[in-house]
Amino acid sequence: MSNRTSHLTEDLILMSIVDYEDLNQENQEHLFQCSTCGTQRETLLNSLEGLGNTARNLCPPAPRPLNWDYAPRPRWWSVFSLPRPVYALAGALASILIALVLLHNPQAPMEIIPFKPTEVSVVYTIALDEVMVDIEESTLTPALMDLAGEAYMEWDQDFFDFLSPGFETELLTFGARLKGALA
């Protein structure tokens, strides 16, 4: 027979709902004998039971489950369904391997091959020719040059040759220089 005079606190009633065995012997006896505490506990338990029952009643019916007798048997490619950490680990290992291979086989530094002077000269000539063609093509017609207030001049071949010496001129100049050198 429980000899306690006060009722169980609300905390103890909650504790009894969480796990009845957690109450000590005296409180268990009191709960068994005291109608006030018993009613309090019963009300809360009924409410929780009602909540669960209502939720289950309002839940739609479960669909028909799969028939596992016809489920496909696992194949070799089922390894791809391994847990994600395995993929992460494999990725990390692959990265480390690639890094090691690259560190042990460093790429040779790129060799810088200087241009030969003749090549530079050819490039220069071609570039200059292109500029001259542009100038020639974009020359205004005499009428438009008059409108623009610029005097029209006849094509000065000597001046053009001076700016961009042709191959023949170059050859002649080279021959003259060679001749002088030999002399």
Partner 1 sequence: MESSGINKETGGYTELPICGLISSMNPLNCETPSSQATRLISLVRQARSGDRAAFDQLVLLHHERIFRMVFFRTRKQMDAEDLCQEVFIRAFKSLPRLKDDSKFVPWLFSIAGNTVKDYYRKKKILSLFQSEPDVQVNEDPDSRQLSQPLDHVLKQEFWSQVEIFSQKLSRWEKEIFFLRFMDQLAIRDIAEATGKSQSAVKTHLYRALEKYRKHSGTFAKFMEDRHEQ
Q: How far is the CB of 103 from partner 1 (least distance, A)?
A: 37
- Single-letter residue type at 141: T
Q: Is 158 exposed, middle or buried (0-12, 13-18, 19+ CB in 10 A)?
A: exposed
Q: How far is the CB of 52 from partner 1 (least distance, A)?
A: 5
Q: How far is the CB of 140 from partner 1 (least distance, A)?
A: 57
Residue among 51 and 135 whose Cβ is closer to partner 1 = 51
Range list of β-strands (E), 125-169: none
Q: How far is the CB of 89 from partner 1 (least distance, A)?
A: 17
Residue among 78 and 164 whose Cβ is closer to partner 1 = 78
User: CB pairs under 8 A, 24+ apart, for 8-11?
Assistant: 8/34, 8/37, 8/40, 10/40
Residue among 17 and 163 whose Cβ is closer to partner 1 = 17
Of the candidates 39, 2, 6, 56, the one whose C-alpha atom is nearest the C-alpha of residue 16 is 39
Q: What residues line the site for partner 1 (CB under 8 A)?
A: 10, 14-22, 41-42, 44-45, 47-56, 58-60, 62-63, 65-69, 71, 74, 78, 81
